[in-house]
Amino acid sequence: MDALTGHLGELGHGLVTTVHLTVVTTIGALLLGVVVATLRVCPVPLLRGVGMVYVEVLQNLPLLALLVLFVFALPTIGITFPLFTSAAIVLAAYEGAYLAEAIRAGINTVGVGQAEAARAIGLTFGQSLRYVILPQGLRAVIQPMGNILIALLMNTSLAAAVGVVELTQAANNVNLVEAQPIAVFTGAGLAYMLLALVIGRITSMLERRWAIVR
């Protein structure tokens, strides 16, 4: 326990960074997921193709490779960002592809009659999506999106590989000093588990509150 109690400030800072990175990335990934899901169901073939390529590329590349490319390769052509910003951009882009597919699945659960009724009263595709289809589609996939956000939380640990001092990196720094890997990384693992439980609890509450009665 001394290995943890003697470094609570350092570990606490890493935990705060992890939470901050998760929140920022979640917002970016949700916005991107909605946009890409919209492209995927758009009646314009070119836009559907753009959405499909985005999802296929991001889902079939390792996240760590994307982080390394963004942080270490882009500066060679003059494109640089702070480490935290770089990690947030890459994580949002990566998880946005998975959220887009979850949201698209939710859109597909909305009955065809809903879209036809929207068109019948004069709504455009964009208006139908905004006011009729997306609200119902998002409510149908709250739990799957929650699972993706838990995966996003766990993936923030990969930011340590590019120099972001989040919880995993902070735990590693403490372990280098104390040489107590079991205590240090067990403590970090419990912190991740508690954060995941919080996300799961919130999504379960939202799912019950916004459940669609069919």
Domains defined along the chain, listed by start: 1-210 (1.10.3720.10)
The per-residue pLDDT for range 122-151, each reduced to its tens digit, is 777 777 777 777 888 888 888 889 999 999
Structure tokens that stand for 165 in this block: 């001092």
Compute the mean pLDDT over every residue in the chain, rounded to the nearest whole number. 87
The per-residue pLDDT for range 38-96, each reduced to its tens digit, is 899 888 889 989 999 999 999 999 999 999 999 998 888 888 889 999 999 999 999 99
Single out the residue of 146, 113, 104, 123 nearest to residue 214, CA to CA: 113
Q: Is the pTM of this model over 0.75?
A: yes
What average pLDDT does range 159-187 have in this prediction?
Answer: 87
What are the CA-CA distances from residue 84 to residues 10, 33, 53, 61, 74 (Å)?
A: 17, 21, 27, 21, 15
Report the range out of 91-100, 178-187, 200-209 with the highest average pLDDT: 91-100
